Amino acid sequence: MDAFVIHGGKRLRGRIRVNGSKNACLPLLAAALLTDEPVIIRDVPDLSDIENMVRLLVSLGCKIDTVEGKGTRAAHMQVTDPTRIEAHYDIVRTMRASICTLGPLLAKRGRARVSMPGGCNIGDRPVDLHLRGLKALGAKIHLDGGYIVAEAPGGRLKGSRVFLGGPFGSTVLGTDNVMCAAVLAEGTTVIESAACEPEVEDLANMLIAMGAKITGAGGPRITIEGVKKLKGVDYTTMADRIEAGTYIIAAAITNGDVVLDNCPTDALTAALDRLAEVGVDVESVPPPGKSDVAKDRLRDSVRVTAARRLEPIQVVTQPHPGFPTDLQAQIMALLCLADGNSIITEKIFPDRFMHVSELLRMGANITRTGTSAMISGVKHLEGAPVMASDLRASAGLVIAGLAAKGATTVNRVYHLDRGYEKMENTLQALGAQIERVNVAGA
């Protein structure tokens, strides 16, 4: 199994481009099931989660060619066999986001059989809200041998009013599923308490370009007027706000000086607000070859620098536009070196603290109580062998390793490969001493 060996203490310097967003791209790819016409999706990141989604869509009768462009990749897709309706357990168990094929299958093919995704290291992760939303559109749903079996009576769903609020806020992929189901339904659907994440808005933008009638995406009420048919599209995935946030924090913890191009600043307001209080300066600069800063703040260029003394802060993860849970582990690593006590409260996934015990092995001082963790800053972190438990926890450990004294081995890097495109190459390009090694049995 692969591991990263990091010799900490190098200041990161240089310029990198943020890739297309994993969490935007997965539902965009699944939405290709909604049309018989060709679909091109650009800036598809090279990640194992994307590979798994491609495998799943191929098994659902979609022909997909991945074409390398100038530093980015495009997926050329077209449905060739619309009779397939089963998202098999073998693929779904490797990636929970497989659930976002449910809405498109039901809308276009009138039937779906999708393996029920299990929990994962960050929590239970139920799908009750997805199912409640689809039932409100008239779908008949039951469970059969671990599969969600869903059918649209008469082959077409019916528009309706759908409430998607749950105990931890709305649901991102649930909103995607209901939105995809509603675009081809008969009549009007109103989703109340819709997820406001920018990835939902990105999906809505692609669906609109395919001929869907959607207003309000990006806010808590989305209105969808069903249409009979969607056409093909050529669409570019939004930039990855979590990848951007991760490299901003990596630059900050090494007291570095890094420019990020294709940075979705507009989608990172809460994170940048917290980072500014810590003492991290993120300033817009002109994109390569330009003399003015970008007008499109979802494709910004930013320069990241940080004060030597990091201030302690309070962070509460919340649904967008609050601080994203997907950056919680990374900012915790940074706060380990702040001058005082910080508190992080996790409001989306109450048990998403697997990285705490690994950071403790590196000399951090963290006390967890329920859904909060108090981080008392230490003078320095010590390199140690640590175990990655999930994607973002692993990113937090890499960030800690970049600042730690001595060598850190982050085992089980396959978690990172799910969501960060060749992270070691990006960090090497910025001057980090990091290499991928194969560790037997780790």
Contacting positions for ligand EPU (CB under 6 A): 23, 26, 97, 123, 125-130, 166-168, 171-174, 195, 199, 325-326, 348-349, 391-392, 419
Least Å from the CB of residue 179 to ligand EPU? 12
CB-wise, 45 or 287, nearer to ligand EPU?
45
Q: Cα separation of 433 and 419, whole Å?
A: 21
CB of 442 to ligand EPU, least distance (A): 21
- DSSP type of residue 406: S
Per the CB < 8 A criterion, the answer to whether 398 and 221 are in contact is: no
Residue 336 annotated to the active site: no
The CB-of-246 to ligand EPU minimum distance in angstroms stands at: 11
Rounded Cα distance between 338 and 341, Å, is 8
Tokens for 138?
Answer: 């008239």
3-class state of residue 44 by DSSP: coil
Nearer to ligand EPU by C-beta: 93 or 125?
A: 125
Q: Report the nearest approach of ligand EPU to the CB of residue 248 (Å).
A: 16
Report residue 153 as tokens.
Answer: 């009576």
Q: Two tokens at 429?
A: 């390009």
Q: Which of 25, 62, 100, 120 is catalytic?
A: 120
Cα gap 27→78, rounded to integer Å: 15
Nearer to ligand EPU, 112 or 306 (CB): 112
Compute the least distance from the CB of residue 363 to ligand EPU, in Å. 26
DSSP codes of every residue in 187-202: SEEEEES----HHHHH
- Nearest of 195, 198, 196, 197 to residue 298 by alpha carbon: 198
Smaller CB separation from ligand EPU, 5 or 393: 393
Distinct helix (H) and strand (E) counts, the chain: 14, 24
Between 368 and 380, whose beta carbon lies closer to ligand EPU?
A: 368
Residue positions annotated with a catalytic role:
120
